Structure 1
Amino acid sequence: MLDLATLHEAIAAAVPDRECLVWRDRRMTWREVSERTRRLANVLHGNGLGLHGNGTHGNGTHGNGTHGGRTADPWESPHDHLALYLHNGPEYLEGLVGAHKARLAPFNVNYRYVDDELAHLFGDARPAGVIYHARFAPVIGRVVKRLDRPPLLLQVADESGEELLPGALDYEEALAQASAERLGDVRPEAGDLHILYTGGTTGMPKGVLWRIGDLMLGPLGMRHRDGTPVTDLGEAVGKAVRSDHRVLVGPPLMHGAGTWSSLGGWCGGACVIFPDRVDGLDAADLMATAERERVTRMPLVGDAFARPIVEALEARDHDLGSLRTFVNSAAAISPAVKRRLLDLLPHSRLVDILGSSESGFQVARNGSSARTFMPAQGTAVLSADRSRRLAPGEDEMGWLAKGGGSIPLGYLGDPVKTASTFLTVDGERLAVPGDRARFLADGSVEVHGREATTINTGGEKVFAEEVENVLRGLPGVEDALVVGRPSERWGTEIVAVVRPAGAPGDEELRGGCAGLLARYKIPKAFVRTGRDLRLPNGKADYAAARALLD
């Protein structure tokens, strides 16, 4: 398997003067980015951070390697960990690659966390270093006092004007004083770990341990068209040299959709571009950037991104002839919004991908009318008791699973959850994140949603996402989330929290649902709100929806 640090260096050597990263007035070549990530690696290594113990998790399909002279368990990490507490920008991607060059395991930090949430995350992740924007200095200053081990602090200057924390290093000054040479005694490997913390929308965040080689073969797309892995460095560099892709990343890198789009672009030789505004979604700015930079590909995160983009495109004409592909993940786009988007950009295609932090991408579909997904390589549907694979056409509500070798090892520090999510079935190790699905006779997969958001009402199971998709397709509904609340009659009753775009009444909404849903799935009540029902990454904010029922 390949590793990220080695591949990035090799592409930089092959196309040193090609654009690698663009943000605002900063246009950085592959040579410049490679040099800056080496400098960061030297800063980290020079402060004693890196790999500890006698090895990593190895280069086999899912071997565990050694850790401190013994076989490592799949929930253990032999690395120091580097927290990335940043908005999108060059420093985030430099942190990811620079960490791997110094053999640290980087991990994402949700920049919306308050003190206690951040302290919980840091208590779990045990960061040896933190790269953070200056605007987050006050919370960092308070939280690091609660840690057993003070981490190395690298502060990135921003518009906030916050002063450097005591003991912290200014990021740019630290890089300027560091060597630009490669670390001579550090050799990154495909078995080195990369940590992706889950969003915590259905529980406390968990650190998913990916070997970087598996991440590259899975979510970062280092495979041939026939699904076989790209493992030869020369072949990978050759493909990158021929690439003309320019990827515009709007979703925050603190979540998988943003990180995977960016690193996947770099692994394929693309230039990664950020919109001018990175502390929130500004669709007009996003599409102006797409036009100016001749973008070829954009990731989306459901209606939270697609609706504002459609409105920005309808507001004025854009020259977007180069924009060939939208890749949507992590949240659904309503059929009507898809149609509007593709009517505006008929030369583009929209690919829906469903996956998770624990599995990578599992199933995909194209266009605005497709309702089922085609499974990716290694995808399976397990029986309800998770003991066997279902065959196409078996009429059983099962569990969506992912195998094929390129899946994570486990959850950092959590053997119980590791055992419950990563199973061995018929001799193959599978990730089973919690999505319910049916395997249809034509080989496609009908995905019903997360078990964690399933509502048991009157003895019937209702998948919140199924009802939400119907509601978001009704006239006068901008967004909707479905939650359960206690009911004397039903045990739990279904309630829809609706963000209206018009003034549809309850009976109008029920009538719209009646033609597409069984009667027991139709919400018993509708709560209207003008609040945003989405987190910054576009995922559903069920906590905010439930709070409106109190």
Structure 2
Amino acid sequence: MADWDFAGVFEAVSRVLPDRVALVHGDRRTTWSELDANASALAGALDAAGLRAGDVVAEYLRNGPEYIEAFYAASKAALAPMNTNFRYVDDELVQIWTDAEVKAVVFAAEFRDRVVRVRERVPSVRAWIEVGGKGAPDWITPYSAALAASPRPHGGGSADSLILIYTGGTTGHPKGVMWRQADILSLLNSQNASPLPDHGDTAAIESHLREKSREVRALTASPLMHGAGLFYAIAALSAGATVVTLPGESLSAEELLDTVERERVRSLAIVGDAFARPLLAALDAEPGRWDLSSLTFVFSSGVMWSSEVKAGLLVHLPRARLLDGLGSSEASAVASTVSTAGAVADTASFRPSDRAAILLDDGTLARPGDGRTGRLAVTGWIPVGYLNDPEKSARTFIEAAGRRWSVPGDLARLEADGSIRLLGRGSSVINTGGEKVFAEEVEEVLKKHPAIADAAVVGVPDDRLGKKVVALVEASGEEPPLEDLLTHARSLLAGYKVPREIGFVDTVGRGANGKLDHRSLTALAEKKWSNA
């Protein structure tokens, strides 16, 4: 019996389909045999750097072949691949890499300046491997040199190896969600149209791939640095599909649509309205420009995907199924809706999976139509917990109704027809374009400016992002120029956390207990800035 892990499955695909294209990135084509060889060499380089089973490898990269190769290499060596948000600045990088005791970082040359600045602050890192770039200092290993290392033999993966997904969550700092490879592989495999034999031996997996695998192209427009994008890509690869990524550094609807047409993409992963609205605008502006007849499936997760935008896309994609998935890094594949031409699902209404329920405060499960609000929960294949945070793990991963559940904090109601009505989060987390922003973190940064006495940060509706981050601030004296405040915020926060709008108020109205009235502040901000 082979270990049920991504290295074992990917190695089986490379043996059965060595000449099939595994990865497409612009003009680059990587076959399965090339992907396997590159990952084996990179795994060998990590071995040579002194990494051992269980050590963490951070991936500080945009979408591209190297992201998949580094994930595969870590899996081959029973290491834990870890995402890194490429929008993070120095302190944020140090926080997560220190928290995870990262031993190796595979990073893009465009981020070298940040790496140079933080290197001495993360002494646990033994290997800094740079993709692209020239003239690097001696302590940086060029990616090309890592690919020249002695390859690691097949069969080194482990079902118990972890995948770390760092997520903004509901605390001031990101937390690492720990998934066992066997659990996330089984979960993703269960959703494939033609699943592999779960926990099957090598011969059974290879036989299935020979008989069932089809050459399907799946475009991951969602960032691989987020769980939804990564899980979509590795699920496709596990089935022997080809994963397509976009070379552009930011979303270009035209580039995406050109790629779908050129590569005959069959399935596409996006991030709700943040991606879908620009796509719809491009299609409406030039109807008929693109031949999208190959595209039959569009998947979204992470942010609101409104019914009107789905309906608009289906005008241009009449044969497509649009799947809107509800889940998170802690609770994947909780519920979903499918929209087709003439049958568009309502916004924020989902059909639960057979693993999902709504957990009430008394520890019981909601019944259809009982009108009670509870926390969305999922059981079965769920994470081990949060890295280095047993208290938060105990609050999120709980025992109830005779099962272990993941309960990230989404409030919901179970309707009479069995559907889930998502109501929002009972916290100050702002979901903006699929990114999670903790309001208090941004408030504390704004208050570090010498001219600011207090600050309140909230999210207001935005057509493209779902919510945009805005701030109401009290000046300690004369109001500083807005650009000064924004420059200050950008120096300490990732760009997506920086408020899109800042307004001065006489007081943010903290109560005697020091707390903010977020409801009234949000109402004030919405009146001022909604859809501004």
Is 1:311 aligned to residue 287 of structure 2?
Answer: no
* 2:365 match: 389
Structure 2 vs 1, CA of residues 522 and 328 (structure 1 numbering), >3 Å: closer, same or farther?
Answer: farther
The answer to whether the 8 A contact 1:482-1:495 is kept is: no
Is 1:265 aligned to residue 236 of structure 2?
Answer: yes
Q: Which residue of the other structure, out of 82, 85, 110, is the alignment partner of 1:135?
A: 110
Q: Which residue of the other structure, out of 243, 266, 270, is the alignment partner of 1:296?
A: 266
For 2:9, the aligned partner's letter is L
Deviation at 1:302, TM superposition (A): 1.3
Q: Please give the alpha-carbon distance, in whole angstroms, between the structure 2 residues aligned to 1:182 and 1:40.
A: 12
Structure 2 vs 1, CA of residues 240 and 309 (structure 1 numbering), >3 Å: closer, same or farther?
Answer: farther
1:334-373 mapped onto 2 (5 Å cutoff):
334-367=306-339, 368-371=344-347, 372-373=349-350
Q: Which residue of the other structure, out of 245, 254, 271, is the alignment partner of 2:216?
A: 245
Is 1:447 aligned to residue 447 of structure 2?
Answer: no
Deviation at 1:334, TM superposition (A): 2.1
* 1:230 match: 198
1:113-124 mapped onto 2 (5 Å cutoff):
113-124=88-99
Deviation at 1:411, TM superposition (A): 0.6
* 2:298 match: 326
Q: Please give the alpha-carbon distance, in whole angstroms, between the structure 2 residues aligned to 1:199 and 1:355.
A: 14
Q: Please give the alpha-carbon distance, in whole angstroms, between the structure 2 residues aligned to 1:44 and 1:82.
A: 9
Deviation at 1:427, TM superposition (A): 2.4
The answer to whether the 8 A contact 1:283-1:308 is kept is: yes
Deviation at 1:12, TM superposition (A): 0.9
* 1:216 match: 185
* 1:429 match: 404
Q: Please give the alpha-carbon distance, in whole angstroms, between the structure 2 residues aligned to 1:16 and 1:200.
A: 40
Structure 2 portions without partners, runs of 5+? 431-457, 473-507
* 2:26 match: 24
Deviation at 1:454, TM superposition (A): 8.3
The answer to whether the 8 A contact 1:193-1:209 is kept is: yes
Deviation at 1:526, TM superposition (A): 2.7
* 1:203 match: 172
Structure 2 vs 1, CA of residues 239 and 300 (structure 1 numbering), >3 Å: closer, same or farther?
Answer: farther
Q: Classify the secondary structure of the residue corresponding to 2:164.
A: strand
Structure 2 vs 1, CA of residues 82 and 333 (structure 1 numbering), >3 Å: closer, same or farther?
Answer: same
Q: Please give the alpha-carbon distance, in whole angstroms, between the structure 1 residues aligned to 2:392 and 2:232.
A: 27
The alignment's TM-score, normalised by the length of structure 1, stands at 0.77
Q: Please give the alpha-carbon distance, in whole angstroms, between the structure 2 residues aligned to 1:114 and 1:154.
A: 19
Deviation at 1:369, TM superposition (A): 3.2
Identity %, equivalent residues = 38
The answer to whether the 8 A contact 1:290-1:320 is kept is: yes
Q: Please give the alpha-carbon distance, in whole angstroms, between the structure 2 residues aligned to 1:312 and 1:88.
A: 22
For 2:409, the aligned partner's letter is G
Q: Please give the alpha-carbon distance, in whole angstroms, between the structure 1 residues aligned to 2:520 and 2:351.
A: 30
* 2:483 match: none
Deviation at 1:478, TM superposition (A): 8.4
CA offsets 1:230-277 (integer angstroms, 9 cap, x no match): 232455445544223211111211111211111111011110011231
Structure 2 vs 1, CA of residues 451 and 105 (structure 1 numbering), >3 Å: closer, same or farther?
Answer: same
The answer to whether the 8 A contact 2:359-2:375 is kept is: yes
Structure 2 vs 1, CA of residues 247 and 227 (structure 1 numbering), >3 Å: closer, same or farther?
Answer: closer
The answer to whether the 8 A contact 1:495-1:525 is kept is: no
Q: Which residue of the other structure, out of 163, 172, 175, is the alignment partner of 1:194?
A: 163
Structure 2 vs 1, CA of residues 478 and 418 (structure 1 numbering), >3 Å: closer, same or farther?
Answer: closer
Structure 2 vs 1, CA of residues 226 and 175 (structure 1 numbering), >3 Å: closer, same or farther?
Answer: closer
Deviation at 1:179, TM superposition (A): 2.5
Q: Please give the alpha-carbon distance, in whole angstroms, between the structure 2 residues aligned to 1:13 and 1:307.
A: 41
Q: Classify the secondary structure of the residue corresponding to 2:189.
A: coil
The answer to whether the 8 A contact 2:303-2:466 is kept is: no
* 2:374 match: 398
The answer to whether the 8 A contact 2:197-2:205 is kept is: no
Deviation at 1:412, TM superposition (A): 0.6
Q: Classify the secondary structure of the residue corresponding to 2:371.
A: coil
Deviation at 1:151, TM superposition (A): 2.2
CA offsets 1:78-97 (integer angstroms, 9 cap, x no match): x1100100111111100001
The answer to whether the 8 A contact 1:483-1:494 is kept is: no
Deviation at 1:181, TM superposition (A): 5.2
The answer to whether the 8 A contact 1:484-1:493 is kept is: no
Deviation at 1:116, TM superposition (A): 1.0
After alignment, is 362-371 or 408-417 more displaced?
A: 362-371
Q: Please give the alpha-carbon distance, in whole angstroms, between the structure 1 residues aligned to 2:264 and 2:194.
A: 29
Q: Please give the alpha-carbon distance, in whole angstroms, between the structure 2 residues aligned to 1:229 and 1:522.
A: 55
The answer to whether the 8 A contact 1:130-1:154 is kept is: yes
Deviation at 1:210, TM superposition (A): 0.3
Q: Please give the alpha-carbon distance, in whole angstroms, between the structure 2 residues aligned to 1:478 and 1:421.
A: 27
Q: Please give the alpha-carbon distance, in whole angstroms, between the structure 2 residues aligned to 1:121 and 1:478.
A: 25
Q: Please give the alpha-carbon distance, in whole angstroms, between the structure 2 residues aligned to 1:226 and 1:167.
A: 45
Q: Classify the secondary structure of the residue corresponding to 1:338.
A: helix
TM-align CA RMSD? 2.8
Structure 2 vs 1, CA of residues 375 and 226 (structure 1 numbering), >3 Å: closer, same or farther?
Answer: farther
The answer to whether the 8 A contact 1:202-1:452 is kept is: no
Is 1:376 aligned to residue 353 of structure 2?
Answer: yes
Q: Please give the alpha-carbon distance, in whole angstroms, between the structure 2 residues aligned to 1:440 and 1:40.
A: 50
Q: Please give the alpha-carbon distance, in whole angstroms, between the structure 2 residues aligned to 1:150 and 1:192.
A: 19
The answer to whether the 8 A contact 1:393-1:442 is kept is: yes
Structure 2 vs 1, CA of residues 436 and 319 (structure 1 numbering), >3 Å: closer, same or farther?
Answer: same
Q: Which residue of the other structure, out of 279, 287, 291, is the alignment partner of 2:257?
A: 287
For 2:7, the aligned partner's letter is A
* 1:548 match: none
